[in-house]
Amino acid sequence: MIVNKSALDGVFFNLKTTFNRALKASEPEWQKIAMKVTSTSSENRYKWMERFPAMRKWAGEKVVKQLKGQGYTIINDDFEATIEVDRNDIEDDTLGIYGPEAEMAGYSSAHLPDELVFDLVNAGFTELSYDGQPFFDTDHPVGKKDGTTVSVSNKGTSALSHATLAAAQASFGAGRTALRKMKDDEERPLNINPSVLLVPPALEDTARALMTVDRLEDGKPNPYKGAAEVVVSSRLTSDTAWFLLDTTKPVKPFIYQERKAPVFVSQTNMDSDSVFLQKKYRYGAEARGAAGFSFWQMAYGSTGQG
């Protein structure tokens, strides 16, 4: 093949098509537990997490809730995947070797939000949420109507179990109860609906049994049958930790913040230094974004090591 602008345009059009096809065909997991927030700058500040207004009886003047001066900020990062194409491969019509690479670049781009969101879940016992406490913690400060503050927990240590009724109650049952008891700073129920049981592959059998069997291993009726959808992710790094989440509302427990969706980029200038000095053209993907925590009241995490 004679290498000229027309030939290069054709080569990289085909690679872009392969990239986009893989990007669209992939089925990421993050939508099951996180919400997408569009970003238009280098960072997003989530002041609304400090005090989220709820409907109340309107008697007299409206009560205006003031947002706190400091908000929870998520800063966008840059991501890329770059591949070199040797000019000799274009001249020799041996470009088939780059098709799988373009396809994998598209696949990887589609799953970037998965990496960011599930890395956040894995770090939830140590990374701080908007209230300055770890996202999964035993000591979240929550105000009361009388001006005092109480500590609220969304963290456990019990291993997920369907062995006995007592073990199931101490694990899944305790998590569900903790979430359902969540209240706002006016002491009104938040109506949390635990809908997703998120587990690593090591706990898949236990989770599915707990959500499907009529009777537990001790022979007693299973009160948790059908209580939540089981979501299994190989991106969870702990074999013992499990998570219970409310994903039924417009706001979800985790945020995928998208500044720039993954796009195919290429460097095909025949006069570029990389071509002149190394006979290399380049293509790949670029994206900008980040992940962050939403309301800790919508999630319960257990280390499973109690």
- Structural domain boundaries of the chain? 5-24+35-48+78-302
Phi then psi for residue 101, to 5 deg, are -65, -40
How far, in Å, CA of 137 to CA of 134, rounded? 5
Q: Which residues contact 158 (CB under 8 A, 6 or more apart)?
A: 167, 170, 171, 174, 302, 304, 306
Question: For 265, what's the count of Cα atoms within 13 Å in the CB-facing half-sphere?
Answer: 14
Eight-state DSSP code of residue 134: B
Edge-to-edge strands, sheet with 34-38 = 34-38, 254-267, 280-293, 77-86
Contact 81, 103 (CB under 8 A): no
pLDDT of residue 195: 98
pLDDT of residue 20: 87
Region 86-106 average pLDDT: 75
pLDDT digits (tens, 9 = 90+) for 141-159: 998 888 899 999 999 999 9
Region 3-20 average pLDDT: 76
Eight-state DSSP code of residue 298: G
pLDDT digits (tens, 9 = 90+) for 115-137: 999 999 999 999 999 899 999 99
Q: Is 281 helix (H, G, I), strand (E, B) or coil?
A: strand
pLDDT digits (tens, 9 = 90+) for 249-292: 999 999 999 999 998 887 766 666 665 656 777 878 899 999 99
pLDDT of residue 197: 98
Given a cut of 80, is residue 194 above it in pLDDT? yes
pLDDT of residue 91: 63
Q: Which of 242, 285, 247 is nearest to 124 (CA)?
A: 242
pLDDT of residue 84: 79
Region 6-30 average pLDDT: 83
pLDDT of residue 61: 52
pLDDT digits (tens, 9 = 90+) for 57-67: 555 554 444 43
Contact 134, 126 (CB under 8 A): yes
Q: Is 84 helix (H, G, I), strand (E, B) or coil?
A: strand
Q: Which of 161, 178, 26, 22 is nearest to 104 (CA)?
A: 22
pTM: 0.85
pLDDT of residue 223: 97
pLDDT of residue 293: 95
* 38: Cα separation from own chain's centroid: 14
pLDDT digits (tens, 9 = 90+) for 26-53: 889 999 999 999 999 999 988 777 655 5
pLDDT of residue 35: 96
pLDDT of residue 233: 97
Contact 153, 138 (CB under 8 A): yes
Instruction: Kindly indicate the confidence band of residue 166, based on its pLDDT and cuts at 50, 70 and 90.
Output: very high
Region 177-182 average pLDDT: 97
Structure tokens at 119: 């890395």
pLDDT of residue 86: 75
Instruction: Kindly indicate the confidence band of residue 70, based on its pLDDT and cuts at 50, 70 and 90.
Output: very low
Region 164-186 average pLDDT: 95
pLDDT digits (tens, 9 = 90+) for 202-257: 999 999 999 999 999 999 999 999 999 999 999 999 999 999 999 999 999 999 99
pLDDT above 90 covers a percentage of the chain that reads 59
